[in-house]
Chains A and B, each alone.
Chain A
Amino acid sequence: MSAEIAITLTVNGERVARRVEARRHLVDFLRLDLGLMGSHTGCEHGFCGACTVRVNGAIVRGCLVLAASLDGAQVETIEGVSDSGEIRDLQDAFIARNAAQCGYCTPGMLLTAADLLKHNPAPTRAQIREHLSGNYCRCTGYHAIVDAVAAVAAKRNGRATP
């Protein structure tokens, strides 16, 4: 058992204040304390990327971040970016291209893809693969995901889908 720590932070634009156990990681905090079930855990060791969320604008592995360290932080999850419409085009492309099968990897994959397009608006297929290579997907074989991300990049740049 570990001591509880008080934190106040912003999650998807809402201010939340909680007392958390020192050992509670961010994804457990989101799921168990806030009921935000869109972030998943696939390994809790930092390998699979299913837990990817945004902290202060940068993507992180939620399983490797302790909630207690997030006093004052801005956290965004798949629910938040869905409601804001920020990644609607990526989500639509994933649906149209069947780039999500079981969907368990998808929230993490989408946030990682959005991060790529923020930093590199016109990535090559190899760059897309490279950037997504910390996100495990057992269902799709990745090809459809790469297609979907490439299509969104092209569209955002006003080019035809490659």
Chain B
Amino acid sequence: MNEIADPGSIDRPNSYIGKSVPRPNVKKLVEGRGQYVDDIVLPRMVHVALVRSSLAHARITGIDGADALDVPGVLAVFTGGDLAAHCAPWVGVLAHLKGMKSAPQRPLPIDRATWVGEALAAVVAETRAIAEDGAARVRVSYETLPAAVDMGTALEAGTAIIHPELGDNLCFERVNETGNVEQAFAAAHKVVEATFHTARHTGVTLEPRSILADYNRASGKLTVYHSTQAPHMMQGVFAKHLGLPEGDVRVICADVGGSYGIKVHVYPDEVAVAAIAKIMGRPVKFIADRLESFSSDIHARDHRIKGRMAVDANGRITAIDIDDLTGIGPYSVYPRTSAVEGNQVVSLVGGPYDFANYHAKTAVVFQNKTPTSQYRAVGHPIATAITEGLVDLAAEAVGLDPVEFRRRNLMADGTYPRTSAAGLKFEGLSHIASLDKLLAMMDYAALRSEQERLRGEGIHRGIGLAAFIELTNPSPFMYGIGGARISAQDGCTVRIDPDGSVVAATGVTEQGQGTEAIMRQIVAEGVGVPIEQVRVVTGDTLTTPYGGGTWACRGTGIGGEAALQSAIAVKGAVLAIAGAMLQAQPETLDLTNGEIVERGTGRARMPLAELARIVYFRGDTLPADLPRELIQTRHFITKQYPFAFTNGIQASYLELDVETGLVKLLKHWCVEDCGRVINPLLVDEQVRGGIVQGIGAALYEECPYSSDGQVLVGSMADYLVPMAAEMPDIEVGHVETPTRESLLGAKGAGEAGTAGAPAAIMNAINDALRPLRAKVLAQPFTPERILAALGKV
């Protein structure tokens, strides 16, 4: 029954795993007939608009809502004080991140504003427009407090301490150390060093954060329609903080208009909406507008990293040493915290390479800016940019081509399992095979000679490479052991209905990655039915098995294995019943294409629909003691490895205009190894979308701040995102090293693109700049920064 374990079985009937099957749930989206939260309209629904702080740090001396209440249609104004009795505060720390600290946070603060954009009061009205009219009339009086804005001075004496009870502005600090770095640097043939900056930026989901909470006073039940990646986690959060039994909270997550990590966090304003729904006993909707999204969606990647690398005379890396500093805003975000990004950086630097001595330190500091937290590829793009930036500098220092330098230093294929210098456990990676495939796809040698030739004509092109590893399929070691109620396990229930169709309910969710398509493929193949007969249910805490949702690239690897195992279990149950009905040994039967067949000959014995009809309507004709469970649930959690690492390598080819500083992207390539590929079409588009998100970080995206903590982004005219005209075509290739932790063998694929792209772009720009003796290390690489590096501005 487990032919699925054999990728060679791909052309059996119903073998969908590994094929580019289109997504079943997209037709409604291309017709504009999806259901995003803002599309849901409930009777007696009211709308929230928020009054947000205009100061980075201030004592709130009063909030006067009287004028707002005068606006016809405004129903209520809530302040932090009003919600305090209804909602318990939280602290965003994880116990396994030793020494980490943060302060209690509430849905709306009671007496102090700590960043520009923090929600301070909520105006409830019959329409959003009226709520905004009301919000404009709420008067907040402040007493300005000194703000800690610059992360570089956050720990210095004289800087305001944001939470005096914590003693200082340090949230978390970690040193990760192996071998003897000082000795290695002393003995090095060459040492290169550089300081890198990654810019504070954000996710810009096209659908803004959206929530509609409805509390029924009679049943005591809270139903929350939420644009989220983790419905079960949010169920627990609403229950705990609003004082409801978990079973009385239902979170429904229908279509989600993009998430990328932005929608996996607990946002104070969203908890406020749920609390208001409970207080008012009616449906309350909040849809963020773009302006407030820029200051209230989590930011990420605000890092300054000093790095150095030691190399021996053979061009082998002997040591890496980095010192990372990151500013995370005034609170660590609940419950995933804001320390994970820095923690990942000190684990992931140097990840693809074989070297012995490692020292990495991160300091995570509080500041009066928008809170930061996990955003697509958490820490990876930072670690990859440092590592690959140093690698290119080292290659240049020892006079090796960047490809040759990587070939000498990447972990060799066939040397796994092994542990990296940073202490990561790798089950199996394919760096060299991926490099070889990439070089063939891009025709590296030809590009190099083209580059050389064009340089002669005054055209400056650059080729940049970036090898990377990516953490996927996380175990409880990511959050659970730290005390967070975030499930690393996931489940799937597969059932057969009377017409022989199959329903699969999964704890992982869909935000456009193709979760439903993947589950459908796996279940159709696992049960043995045509794919059209499978329906998938996601995103409802009442009807799906408890699970973690979709984040950290776990949907396919964890949720997919649960689906496969429950599908196989259902098939077993079907064959046992069929055996009794056909007076045959179940082992002599099989289920393919929705038919019970004789194993081996394939002779049809009975349609699945006929078996289901008899089970559901004529159970009297079956042996009395025959189990007839046409519904099975299985769960999956990884056990051997804390994470399933994937690997890959990207390349960028671009042209630099040295007069304007503009970068024109010509082409981008990525080879990645996410284990068993379930659906190449979906994986490739995950990679492409991720790459473009990484390109955005490298070239455009930044949330700049003034020295007094004002965020200088008012609209999408100030915050540039990648648009079609500037983006290159992207070629994607695969190497497959399945994980042996599961029958399915799949690892995650959603973050690889974002992990590697900024480093590839940086290295390509610096490759173009090299003959001009200039380089750029601070993202985003704007024309202004490139011209500054060239000494032209």
Residues of A within 8 A of B (CB): 1, 21, 23-24, 31-32, 35-40, 42-45, 47-48, 50, 77-79, 82, 91, 94-98, 100-107, 110, 125-126, 128-130, 132-146
Query: B32 to A138, Cβ gap below 8 A?
Result: no
Q: Which of A39, A102, A144 has the most CB of B within 10 A?
A: A102
User: Contacts A106-B30, A110-B30: A138 and B258 contacting too (C-beta < 8 A)?
Assistant: yes
Give the CA-CA distance A95 to B26 in the complex, in Å: 6
User: Contacts A45-B290, A45-B716, A138-B206: A100 and B724 contacting too (C-beta < 8 A)?
Assistant: no
Q: How far is the CB of A37 from chain B (nearest CB, A)?
A: 4
Does B618 sit within 8 A of A, measured CB to CB? no
Give the CA-CA distance A82 to B183 in the complex, in Å: 69
Q: Which of A1, A98, A103 has the most CB of B within 10 A?
A: A103
Query: B36 to A91, Cβ gap below 8 A?
Result: no
Q: Which of A40, A105, A133 has the most CB of B within 10 A?
A: A40
User: What are the residues of chain A within 8 A of B33 when measuring CB–CB?
Assistant: 37-38, 79, 82
Binary A-proximity of B500-529 (CB < 8 A = 1, otherwise 0) = 000000000001111000000000000000
Query: A102 to B693, Cβ gap below 8 A?
Result: no
Query: B129 to A43, Cβ gap below 8 A?
Result: no
Query: A103 to B26, Cβ gap below 8 A?
Result: yes
Give the CA-CA distance A89 to B716 in the complex, in Å: 32
User: Contacts A102-B258, A139-B512, A139-B689: A146 and B724 contacting too (C-beta < 8 A)?
Assistant: yes
Give the CA-CA distance A97 to B35 in the complex, in Å: 22
Question: With A45-B290, A141-B692 given, can you name 12 additional A-B contacts, CB distance below 8 Å?
Answer: A37-B35, A37-B39, A43-B716, A77-B32, A91-B31, A101-B685, A102-B207, A102-B259, A103-B28, A130-B724, A133-B723, A141-B730
Q: How far is the CB of A122 from chain B (nearest CB, A)?
A: 18
Q: Which of A36, A107, A139 has the most CB of B within 10 A?
A: A139
User: Contacts A39-B32, A102-B511: A145 and B724 contacting too (C-beta < 8 A)?
Assistant: yes
Q: How far is the CB of A27 from chain B (nearest CB, A)?
A: 11
Which of B34, B511, B724 is close to A129, meaning CB atoms less than 8 Å apart?
B724
Does B465 sit within 8 A of A, measured CB to CB? no
Give the CA-CA distance A48 to B127 in the complex, in Å: 24
Which are the 9 A-B pairs with shortest beta-carbon distances? A38-B32, A103-B29, A104-B257, A102-B512, A101-B512, A141-B692, A78-B32, A133-B725, A47-B716
28 contacts between A and B (CB under 8 A): A24-B129, A31-B38, A35-B41, A37-B38, A40-B206, A40-B207, A45-B717, A47-B716, A48-B206, A77-B32, A82-B30, A91-B31, A95-B23, A98-B685, A102-B258, A103-B26, A103-B512, A104-B205, A104-B258, A107-B32, A125-B729, A128-B724, A132-B724, A136-B716, A140-B688, A142-B692, A142-B724, A143-B727
Within 8 A of A (CB), among B633-688: 681-682, 685, 688
Binary A-proximity of B383-414 (CB < 8 A = 1, otherwise 0) = 00000000000000000000000000000000
Q: How far is the CB of B667 from chain A (nearest CB, A)?
A: 11
Give the CA-CA distance A31 to B716 in the complex, in Å: 23
Q: How far is the CB of A106 from chain B (nearest CB, A)?
A: 6
Query: A104 to B207, Cβ gap below 8 A?
Result: yes
Query: B30 to A141, Cβ gap below 8 A?
Result: no
Query: A102 to B255, Cβ gap below 8 A?
Result: yes
Give the CA-CA distance A45 to B713 in the complex, in Å: 13
Does B715 sit within 8 A of A, measured CB to CB? yes
Query: A40 to B688, Cβ gap below 8 A?
Result: no
Does B179 sit within 8 A of A, measured CB to CB? no
Give the CA-CA distance A137 to B729 in the complex, in Å: 15
Q: How far is the CB of B244 from chain A (nearest CB, A)?
A: 30
User: What are the residues of chain A within 8 A of B208 when measuring CB–CB?
Assistant: 42
Binary A-proximity of B238-272 (CB < 8 A = 1, otherwise 0) = 00000000000000000111111000000000000
Q: How far is the CB of A148 from chain B (nearest CB, A)?
A: 10
Give the CA-CA distance A20 to B296 in the complex, in Å: 31
Q: Which of B31, B688, B715, B717 has the most CB of A within 10 A?
A: B31
Within 8 A of A (CB), among B93-109: none
User: What are the residues of chain B within 8 A of A79 when measuring CB–CB?
Assistant: 31-33
Does B423 sit within 8 A of A, measured CB to CB? no
Give the CA-CA distance A42 to B290 in the complex, in Å: 7
User: What are the residues of chain A within 8 A of B28 when measuring CB–CB?
Assistant: 103
Give the CA-CA distance A48 to B723 in the complex, in Å: 9
User: Contacts A78-B31, A103-B26, A103-B257: A136 and B723 contacting too (C-beta < 8 A)?
Assistant: yes
Give the CA-CA distance A37 to B33 in the complex, in Å: 7
User: Contacts A110-B30, A143-B730: A101 and B513 contacting too (C-beta < 8 A)?
Assistant: yes
Query: A98 to B23, Cβ gap below 8 A?
Result: yes
User: What are the residues of chain B within 8 A of A110 when measuring CB–CB?
Assistant: 30
Q: How far is the CB of B716 from chain A (nearest CB, A)?
A: 4
Q: How far is the CB of B342 from chain A (nearest CB, A)?
A: 25
Which of B22, B255, B724 is close to A96, meaning CB atoms less than 8 Å apart?
B22
Q: Which residue of B lies closest to A37 (CB)?
A: B39
